[in-house]
Amino acid sequence: MKIHSYKTAISRSNFSRPIQVALSNQLFPDNTSFFDYGCGKGDDIRALKSIGHKASGWDPVHKPKTKLKKADVVNLGYVVNVIENQKERIDTVRKAYDLANKALIVSARLVFEIRKNNHRPHKDGFLTSRNTFQKFYTQEELKGFIDSTLNVNSVPGSPGIFFIFKDASLRSQFEANRYRRRPFTRFKLNADEIFEENKPILQPIIDFLLIRGRLPDDSEIKNVKKIKEKFGNIKRAFSLIGRVLKQNDWAEVEKDRSEDLLIYLGLTKFTQRPVLSALPIDVQLDIKSFFGSYREACKQADELLFSAGNQSLINKEAQKASCGKLISDALYVHVSSLPRLSPILRIYEGCARNYIGDVQEANIIKLHRLKPKVSYLSYPKFDRDPHPSLKGSLVFHLQSFDLKYYNFSDSENPPILHRKETFVPSDYPHRKKFEKLTKQEEKQGLFENTKIIGTKNGWNDVLKMKKVRLRGHQVARIE
């Protein structure tokens, strides 16, 4: 029986999911070269070229005449899952890896994507209705296949997507960036005439302090020459900044950045923690500034990681959380609230992400309080819909490594959300609108029977019974 693998190539108007994940994780800095091994119809190539990258690709059917060539990043996107022959799969991964100068991206379809009514068992996979072959992996199986084939320790980028780094420093930078929060503290500077006169020269140092929580090295800011001409060195320049910088703000930023570093170092325990010299220079400087030594930083990181295995402690931290919706067995938070959680809860979630990667569509995270589980929930209309419906839920068990997906996209009665303001931080752009809606709904008695309002049909029944309807985020009476 002839397998028509070429029929699996699809046309798309935007980036494929592996490239979206790579872009969001900053795997494509300026001037990064890209080669797509098994590029299909070449949509990723065209899209990357449109944003300034040097991109090309090869495909046995659609671009067979293109020459194979090395590139900084090589993509093997949903190729291994359509190859029927196991030896050919291994050879393909190795060939793609040989072409990568810095990183290889490997992706494949996962078992929860199987549609039993359209697939017939064939060898270690399935035949589709179009007579194409599909091999579906578990997350653990795909990682094991990649690692054993290449003798590497691949990094999960997202479910079904893995990054294999040839550059150890690039890998460390990638993992550190994954757990480094964007600043949500803003420096409130005291008035000072001398400082105002020199502010244009000092601003790069202030910006760096906010992002890294420490003084920059000479190599880390662009206008170091002007700073030295004016003040002699960066430390003297900082003495002037210190006159206007509020101590509480500075302490808060230092605390945030050191916590980020501990979470990163703690999670490297799972993936063979690198020696100090293998870390990027900026991370080495962070460690020296915050902890004095790598040994001390690793000691504190291990203590933090160990605490994430204490479910009783997780439960207590969830109860104390400053944001999120607390229920009997879990804490629900919007992704924007995750950086505001305590380090213990962040590394608890990080243990799941360290295994499955970023779940791109998820905007609500469920931290289970009584069992070691983390769920990633997708509510595509969270901001627009006053009570958004659940599209899908990815549940990961931290002890059994069991990964399950629950699909509600075709459900006529999916679960829905209420009191959206409880999921988001205080400075979330739409929080006031959410709060106003909740007050109106409380006034109309719409939350009196909490047992039936958790699903779309139950909620609509309550609206009908109370003779009200929703106009956007406002309650209106039905005359």
Over residues 151-187, the pLDDT tens digits come to 999 999 999 999 999 988 888 888 888 888 776 666 6
What is the Cα–Cα distance from 137 to 360, expressed in whole angstroms?
19
Q: What is the pTM of this model?
A: 0.89
Distance of CA 179 to the CA centre of its chain: 9
Give the Å distances, CA to CA, from 377 to 48, 64, 362, 395, 396.
29, 41, 5, 9, 12
Q: What mean pLDDT comes out for the span 201-224?
A: 91
Residues 6+ apart with CB under 8 A from 125: 81, 84, 133, 134, 135, 136
What is the Cα–Cα distance from 463 to 474, expressed in whole angstroms?
13
pLDDT band at 118, cuts 50/70/90?
low
Residue 475 pairs with which residues in a beta bridge? 470
- β-strand pairing of 325-326 with 161-165: unpaired
Hey, which bits of 8-94 come out as E strands?
Answer: 33-37, 54-58, 71-77
Hey, which bits of 49-137 come out as E strands?
Answer: 54-58, 71-77, 100-107, 119-122, 125-128, 133-134
Over residues 279-295, the pLDDT tens digits come to 989 999 999 999 999 99
Shortest CA distance to 212 belongs to which of 238, 181, 170?
Answer: 181
Over residues 97-116, the pLDDT tens digits come to 999 999 999 999 998 887 66
Task: Identify whether the C-beta of residue 330 lies closer than 8 Å to the C-beta of residue 393.
Answer: no
For 5-166, which CATH class? alpha beta
* pLDDT score recorded for residue 21: 93
Task: Identify whether the C-beta of residue 112 lies closer than 8 Å to the C-beta of residue 162.
Answer: no
* pLDDT score recorded for residue 210: 87
- Angle formed by the axes of helices 247-267 and 168-178, nearest 10°: 130
Query: What does the mean pLDDT of the chain come to?
Result: 90
What is the Cα–Cα distance from 426 to 432, expressed in whole angstroms?
9
Distance of CA 284 to the CA centre of its chain: 24
Q: What mean pLDDT comes out for the span 15-21?
A: 93
Over residues 134-148, the pLDDT tens digits come to 899 999 999 999 999
Q: Hey, where are the domains in the chain?
A: 5-166, 193-245, 311-421, 425-477
* pLDDT score recorded for residue 443: 95
